[in-house]
Amino acid sequence: MGTGTTRRQPTLDEVAARAGVSRSAASRVLNKAPHVSRATRDAVERAIKELGYLPNRTARALATRQTGIVALAISHDDPELFADPFFGQVIVGVSSALEETDLHLLLCLASSGRGRSRLTNLLNTRGVDGIMLMALHGDDPLTHIVRRAGLPAVYGGKPLHFKPQWYVDSDNLGGARLATEHLLGLGRTRIVTITGELGTEAGAARCRGYREAMIMAGLTPYGVAEGDFTEASGAAAMRSLLDEHPDLDAVFAASDNMAAGALRVLSEAGRSVPADVAVVGFDDLAIAERTDPPLTTVHQSIQSLGKEMTRVLLELIAGRETASLILPTRLVLRGSA
Amino acid sequence: MGTGTTRRQPTLDEVAARAGVSRSAASRVLNKAPHVSRATRDAVERAIKELGYLPNRTARALATRQTGIVALAISHDDPELFADPFFGQVIVGVSSALEETDLHLLLCLASSGRGRSRLTNLLNTRGVDGIMLMALHGDDPLTHIVRRAGLPAVYGGKPLHFKPQWYVDSDNLGGARLATEHLLGLGRTRIVTITGELGTEAGAARCRGYREAMIMAGLTPYGVAEGDFTEASGAAAMRSLLDEHPDLDAVFAASDNMAAGALRVLSEAGRSVPADVAVVGFDDLAIAERTDPPLTTVHQSIQSLGKEMTRVLLELIAGRETASLILPTRLVLRGSA
DNA sequence: GACGATCCTGGAACCGCTTCCAGCCTGTCG
DNA sequence: CGACAGGCTGGAAGCGGTTCCAGGATCGTC
């Protein structure tokens, strides 16, 4: 800026004039519309090249009522949470899916009230063609706003208490079942679980998966303590579980971070892993490779989540049929179980 | 979408009609322009409220030639790198600064050629009002494109080989000097450094800081090994340094991740930290609190970096005077030195 | 009471593109 | 040879705002 010669971009009118055709003809060439003769096309294309013409995004958006922008909204009370690599992964996935289109990504951290109202305004002023929502807790007012705005919307991770028409989620239930079944397969029976926040769908589903697996094996859930997905909460939960059930022989933690906390507490308590207590986590974050012993865990691909959300959103925007998706999870065997 | 009643948003014309004034009058009220009577203002404001009117973003953008969007472009060959919490922090900072404005954030991962050309197109079609650039390596063609587009631009972290007019950076040089001086103050003299990629400004500056501090203390740099900021590279560098200089008594690693790698290798080699070897890192990431022993490191606030970049960009967009910035770093003492 | 100066006002142009539509030209068929 | 069905074309009306400008109303002043 500042000193730049910022020569005004040529307009479509100038292109048309140079090519000796009307503006509408030029526009047709630009949009590869039918009913344009070879001669016209060539002339316009040459003029475009010579002038270095590029269509003005905003003008086109106004005429077509399509902004060429999709939003990714992350709604959470704590903006710091966004620093979690989780969202970075989502964004990488979203970007890769967007790469093949002409759409761009608008990122909204709707944590504060101000952030929410900015997002609301963006939706209501039709500032984006569609929106992806993540990390909604419970009955986030955002869901209403989105619905009222009547905009294509895809949810990442089912919100609790509300089944959106379109969402993409990891198979939390299946993953938790997988983990628990693996522990059962190892001959463990006194298996406890450290859950994530039960106020989130992921937290609840992973807990349900554990319960179902136990029951299917003819056992009853042996011990349940609620955490909030963080390492500290995992440690605390582990302590209370050891207290209540000193003879436990396996732990399924609903996140790697909590599993890491649990490992720490177990080692302090003199239990050896996996000999005395087998531990399985969930997420397969980088930390899972660095714990001692390395953590057996349930892998979910966050990038795929972002990619698939985007794919569904694109279909929606294009007005095509599409459907929600549950992404598979799989067990990654390392040393802890 | 789909079933939504998506009732068309009212337009300014409808507001004007309802208020019984002209569209221009209504527009004036909307923009708090002078020369509008009390009566007109009231009537228009009432009509706006009754109709639930919201100005159309795109139309306004076309008329004012201001999109209300700023871009954050992250240019790096490896899109995975974006999953690093670093960028999450930047984004949190940027968002917080944007929160008080009417601007929104467009995120561009310009890693692939396709990503770059999309970004180029975005700039040339005036799809954004300004841009912040990060993680440019060497002579990224992006810098030319940005300059030619004549758009307000701010760089995060000085690129090497090119001094942008506006940038915000952490005080890498000062921080590295601080770290080295701390080690010197501890009485260590056989201090080695594990550098980041010397092809980046941060890597080079941190190495220079180490050198300068050593020289100012009347010493010569004792040992230098280049890493690439990752833990694995830190471990490798540490091994080769131990090999060359078995009697080293301190290490300054240019990143916490590399310091973590170094700590691992030192412990394998039977050196105790900080007794035998003192270690200082750089960045003050979460990992610094979890190493054994906890890592003494140079703190830089990435959020501030994002926030300040945004502040400078906003000034630029507003056409006000502004200046580049170097953000201070400080030493955080923990167990390793 | 006449006269600017000042404040408001609505009309109209404009931002740059898409798209509908009427009209032209051509070619084909009966 | 006349009628008709196309394919192409440019004019014009949009998309929904902002902003310039000329003119009318209002005011205070001499």
Mean pLDDT of A290-309: 94
- Is A96 an interface residue toward B (CB < 8 Å)? yes
What pLDDT sits at residue A161? Answer: 77
How many residues are recorded in chain A? 337
The answer to whether residue A145 scores a pLDDT higher than 70 is yes
Per-residue pLDDT for A286 more than 60?
yes
Instruction: Please tell me the predicted confidence (pLDDT) of residue B6.
Output: 55
Check pLDDT > 50 for residue A2.
Answer: no
Which pTM value belongs to this model? 0.90
User: B189: distance to nearest CA of chain A, Å?
Assistant: 32
Residue A45, chain B, CB below 8 Å: the answer is: no
Round the average pLDDT of chain A to a whole number and report it: 91
Residue B24 near chain A (CB below 8 Å): no
Q: Is the CB of A33 under 7 A from strand D?
A: no
Among A157-166, A167-176, A284-293, B242-251, name the one with the lowest average pLDDT: A157-166
Length of chain B: 337
Q: What is the pLDDT of residue B257?
A: 92
pLDDT tens-place string over residues A91-118: 999 999 999 999 999 999 987 788 888 9
pLDDT of residue A114: 86
Chain B residue at shortest CA distance from A302 = B83
Burial of residue B247 (CB within 10 Å: 0-12, 13-18, 19+) is exposed
Residue A155: pLDDT above 60? yes
Q: Do A58 and B61 touch (CB under 8 A)?
A: yes
Residue A21 CA, nucleotide D1 C1', distance (Å): 34
Distance, in Å, from the CA atom of B149 to the CA atom of A255, rounded to the nearest integer, reads 46
Q: For the ranges A158-172, A202-216, A272-286, which has the lowest average pLDDT? A: A158-172
Least confident of A136-140, A220-224, B287-291: A136-140
Are the CB atoms for A178 and A206 separated by under 8 Å?
A: no
Mean pLDDT is lowest, of A86-90, A187-191, B252-256, B265-269, for A86-90
Mean predicted confidence (pLDDT) in A181-186: 97
Average pLDDT value for residue range A78-90 = 77
Specify the pLDDT at position A1. 40
Buried b (16+ CB within 10 A) or exposed e, B19-29: bebeeebbbbb
Facing residue for A57 by CB, picked from B83, B125, B316: B125
Which of B98, B125, B301, B302 would best serve as a mutation to test chain A binding (most A beta carbons within 10 A)?
A: B125
Report the distance separating Cα A233 and Cα A235, nearest Å.
5
Which residue among A1, A62, A104 sits closest to B58, beta carbon to beta carbon?
Answer: A62
Q: Which of A54, A64, A90, A104 to mutate to test the interface with B (most CBs of B within 10 A)?
A: A104
Cβ neighbours of B100 (radius 10 Å): 10
What per-residue confidence (pLDDT) applies to B1? 40
pLDDT band with cut points at 50, 70 and 90 for residue A4:
very low
Strand order in the sheet with B167-170: A325-327, A167-170, A153-156, A130-134, A69-74, A104-109, B104-109, B69-74, B130-134, B153-156, B167-170, B325-327
- Is the pLDDT assigned to residue A5 strictly greater than 70? no
Q: Do A82 and B88 touch (CB under 8 A)?
A: yes
Q: Is the peptide bond between B274 and the residue preceding it cis, with omega within 30 degrees of 0?
A: yes
List chain B residues with pLDDT less than 50.
1-5
Cβ atoms of B307 and B291 within 8 Å: the answer is: no
Q: What percent of chain A is predicted at pLDDT more than 90?
A: 75
Residue-wise pLDDT tens digits, A224-261? 999 999 899 999 999 999 999 999 999 999 999 999 99
